[in-house]
Structure 1
Amino acid sequence: MMPRVEELERRLSGGDALVGIVGLGYVGLPLALAALRAGFSVLGFDTNPERVAALNRGEGAFHHIPGDALAEAARAGTFAATGDMARLAEPDAILICVPTPLTRHREPDLGFVVASARAVAASLRPGQLVVLESTTYPGTTDEVVRPLLEAGGLRVGAEIFLAYSPEREDPGNAAFSTAQIPKVVGADDPASRRLAAALYGALTVATVPVSSAACAEAVKLTENIFRAVNIALVNELKLVYDAMGIDVWEVIEAAATKPFGFMPFYPGPGLGGHCIPIDPFYLAWKAREFEVPARFIELAGEVNTRMPAHVVERLAAAVDRTGRPFSGSRILLLGLAYKRNIDDTRESPALRLMRLIEARGATCLYHDPLVPVLPPTREYASLAGRRSTPLDAGTLRAADAVLIATDHDGVDYALVAAEARLVVDTRNAMARRGLSGPTILKA
């Protein structure tokens, strides 16, 4: 091994290196916390000046990510955030944690990855390790990132090092922090793989080396496709069993008592978050290059995409049965985040529900204790700035129906049951709390 590799490996495995993290969002910040707790110093990079300033003031960015540890590290000088990409020459390891959305035509949008790789390349120096964490299709690290890094003459595996390690965050899951989740590591040369394993071995419970970056990219997509397909299955079962007068929630809970051969997944109003609604389409798109159909993936996407429309149909029918036409009615949407107990609205099905409700002539308000103001989103820019309505008896009585889209724990569901004229529950939130009655329906 070259002395440069051995020295860098020693610093990475011992926590003596400076770690740079590009993208201080839902993936980058937990990773920064894990690195700080492992003894590393962290320099964070973000293009949002407000976020950079807030983090340097010691303010947390997200509800489920504690800001006190970052604040303490900022005061101690072991953490700083910056928008100055020229400082990318400073870290020993640079971890790219930027979004990978879809275009309007459901094709991969690698704009953030490409911009980040170009910024890294502009300041790249010998002896740096670069790791892509953004979820993407197999081949991205080698076909997209590597040429950008090598454009200046430095060679991967010799002067610089490149790996892929997929993020495995589950926002709001207190049982598994970043450091408690094994980290898959893949690279196309032994030195890069060894260095990436040394870094993640120092800040996570275990590493899982695989033979290539493409294999590691495929691991992440497989994990998310597994969830997407199984959620589509239970969403379809919900439709089938509902037509038969059978409660799918009761079926799943009973089936889950089998100690082998069954894993419970639960239906809902549609998929949300940056991973499950998006990542399967990355593989389906890449599969077309090899003329291989990805029928399960595409069918699952169709089923899950239809769920918001199904929910609104159920809601409209329920309101119509009360004697008031849905057009002109007042709907209170309960929960705007894409999953319980977090403030993340990315790809939230609640946004699609809001638009569909208003397209049918109803007024739609929302209450979410974790989303006081609806942030800007790419697809629902016109909804930005709306504010959460207080959840009180007056608000509930004024609504023609309450639609539970996200089942946050910090909600008074007993008050909802007592005061709402009609409740349409997509998450089984009421039944789980022993609340039932003729005005509480499941969708």
Structure 2
Amino acid sequence: MRVVRAGVAALCLLAGSGCANPPTGSDQDDPTQPVTLRFWHGWSEKNEVRAIEESIERFEAQHPNIKVRATGHVTDETVNQALRAGGGDAPDVVSSFTTNNVGQYCSSGMWVDLDPFMRKTGLDKHRVFPKNLLDYTAYQGEQCALPLLADAYGLYYNKDAFAAAGIKRPPRTMSEFRRDAVKLTRRTADGSYRRLGFMPNFRFYQNSPDRMFAQWGPRYFDRKGRSRLAEEPGIRDFLRTQRGLVTALGGYEALEEFRTGFGDEFSAAHPFQTGKLAMHLDGEWRGLFLDKAEVGFRWGTAPLPVPDDRPETYGRGYLTGTVIGIAQSSRHQNAAWELVRFLTSDTKQVVAFANAIHNVPSTKAALRSPELDADRSFRTFLRIARNRYSSAPPASLNGGQYLVSFQDFGYGYEAGDTDGLDRRLRSLDHQIDADTVQAQN
């Protein structure tokens, strides 16, 4: 499980001094010679760390000359500082939960282009990895990262609440979504919420605007890299749909009051687990929490609904995931590639790792593997990951800054700042473009 919120982890210090000239390593090493690699990653939960250790054990069994020294719970900021400094203690292989930063990893030169290594060892990335996962691990044609498992987002729903409300299946369109959310809402005698059909507010847990906007299949940038949200066909329908859902469920202020009483996302008091929400947007990992909590109701999973005029895209969802690459400063880049290749493309390894931490596999073969622990609820997320309409936000030069700007815009709009929408969207585009120019200088 990995949770990266836009506006927090999406911003790293890659734009600092020295970023454009990272220490140079070597791709002339002999990967058959004895070597010790340093691998830095962000996993910290006991089960996840053990899964990494088991992955390394499998790798070392196949490559007895290569030893791997792993360091976990490492932030992007710490990795970037080490890569800028170089030296003998810097990592050879690095992973990140922040796909938004891939544009910076590639453009800064701190992560090497992996295409030469793939050509040298005969790995055809287009045959191995789904296109939508390759898209978020490259920037302007440079494949400086590869996917290391993925997260897909979908809808969790309370089957008992659905049955009691006479709803026979999860909603598939946004109009059905709004209708069902209202129908599932229950209030107390004083008018407060006993159960809410769905919490739409963007500040709620995983409800960032980009995750919900993914159902419209947006294009954030034109071919020249300029922001085009003001001319994106789905943006106005998305915002109106969001605002309409907020209004239908009682208004922004009432929803915010209810939301602020929910507590921590990963506590036993999670509002979906306690029956305060009938529908909830989340990643595939939420199923583990529900199983462990032994909630007192039947629950299911489904894709998030899509716009009414795009029913053929139902099944799509927002994708993200862990990315992995090789440090430019590494003097053992060929040996490092052997580790990256094993972790990302060996089918048995990818399946075993996915099973261990309950994430979506990131290769075509692993997604089809009969060895995958695919319970009924988890299969929903596998289908979302395979859906050709599913997507992740594109990489950009300054990481997730454009998503932070979009998120701030969304906060204001859902709260009622709706006047002059066209003007405000153009202003948002100008802000995003200005931030990009600043990152280039």
Rg larger for: 1
TM-score by length of 2: 0.25
TM-score by length of 1: 0.25
